[in-house]
């Protein structure tokens, strides 16, 4: 069975640390032909959700690793007319080497793993967004690591505060990714937007201790944080709740008052796209503390590292 990556904890802590170092090498040596480890392979990209950074970074990354990226349109495939995932996965396994999937239901990605024999990478589901977390942690490690220090060591013991919808794929991914890399994760959002209790079972299954706390008090969660993170308040699929969400999320905007409670060296991160004036003020989004575009760039390098590691 080929290795897949559906959640942050599909890799061990030592594997995850190695992936950070590999991302650093791939970023430094971008264009070096020795890294074309997928030469001659074909990987498919199947997206049920719209995308900018995910599609571009994966398509470019596969090309730079030597693979042929094949874009699949679910609406023009037989699975759009009722063919089962089981049959689709079995057929795909006879043709291609890997599948990048960005979809709604996490179980769909799980089914491709259980029914097929190809590398499956979770490019986002409603439950988790693990590739983003590896890029985020790589970005922070670049900022924090001392010369000669392993990147993974530089993030251990650091505290990240997350704001907004704490039942989202990004919040869940930070809980898992933070625990894997030894970070403390604080989350703050309105009542009814706490993390899904299922994430505690994910931690237990991975042999990791609970590393997070949730509070409805945004300022308390900000105190002394090393990094501050937010995401859009209305994710794809939540459009019908837009007005309600915008109203209840207002106290959780990342702005100067909140950042002033964090460490004076704290960084601001956002997985993008951002809605300035909603989840983050323009002042913070464009401040020197904001590393959102380094973070976006590092999707490419982190994902290349993940795919390289899977293909070994």
Name the residues annotated as catalytic.
102, 129, 132, 231, 271, 299
Distances in Å between the Cα of 101 and the Cα atoms of 22, 43, 57 are 23, 11, 13
Q: How far apart are CA 36 and CA 24, in angstroms?
A: 16
DSSP string of 175-188, one letter each residue: HHHHHHTT-EEEEE
Task: Please state whether the peptide bond connecting residue 40 to the residue before it is cis, i.e. omega within 30 degrees of 0.
Answer: no
List, in order, residues 6 or more apart from 20 with CB less than 8 Å away: 134, 137, 138, 141, 150, 151, 152, 305
Pair of tokens at residue 32? 């070096």
DSSP H/E element including 283 = helix 282-285
CA distances from 55 to 61, 124, 264 (A): 10, 11, 35
d(CA 255, CA 283): 7
Q: Are 37 and 65 in contact (CB under 8 A)?
A: yes
Sequence-ordered alpha helix ranges (H) in 29-69: 53-64
């Amino acid at each position: 069975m080929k290795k897949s990556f559906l959640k942050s904890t599909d890799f061990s802590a030592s594997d995850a640390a190695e992936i950070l170092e590999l991302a650093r090498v791939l970023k430094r040596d971008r264009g070096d032909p020795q890294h074309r480890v997928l030469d001659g392979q074909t990987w498919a990209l199947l997206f049920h959700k719209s995308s900018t950074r995910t599609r571009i970074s994966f398509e470019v990354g596969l090309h730079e690793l030597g693979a042929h990226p094949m874009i699949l349109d679910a609406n023009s495939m037989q699975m759009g007319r009722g063919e089962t995932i089981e049959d689709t996965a079995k057929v795909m396994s006879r043709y291609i080497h890997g599948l990048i999937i960005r979809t709604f239901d996490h179980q769909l990605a799980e089914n491709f793993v259980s029914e097929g024999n190809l590398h499956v990478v979770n490019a986002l589901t409603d439950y988790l967004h693990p590739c983003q977390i590896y890029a985020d942690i790589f970005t922070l490690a670049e900022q924090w690591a001392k010369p000669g220090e392993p990147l993974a060591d530089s993030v251990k013991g650091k505290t990240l505060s997350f704001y907004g919808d704490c039942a989202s794929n990004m919040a869940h991914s930070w809980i898992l990714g933070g625990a894997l890399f030894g970070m403390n994760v604080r989350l703050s959002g309105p009542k009814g937007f706490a993390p899904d209790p299922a994430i505690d079972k994910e931690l237990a299954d991975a042999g990791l201790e609970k590393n997070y706390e949730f509070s409805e008090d945004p300022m308390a969660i900000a105190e002394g944080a090393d990094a501050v993170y937010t995401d859009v308040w209305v994710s794809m699929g939540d459009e019908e709740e837009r007005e309600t969400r915008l109203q209840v999320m207002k106290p959780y905007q990342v702005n100067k008052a909140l950042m002033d409670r964090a460490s004076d060296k704290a960084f601001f991160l956002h997985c993008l796209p951002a809605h300035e004036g909603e989840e983050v003020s323009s002042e913070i989004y464009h401040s020197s503390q904001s590393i959102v575009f380094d973070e976006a760039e590092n999707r490419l390098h982190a994902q290349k590292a993940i795919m390289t590691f899977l293909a070994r």
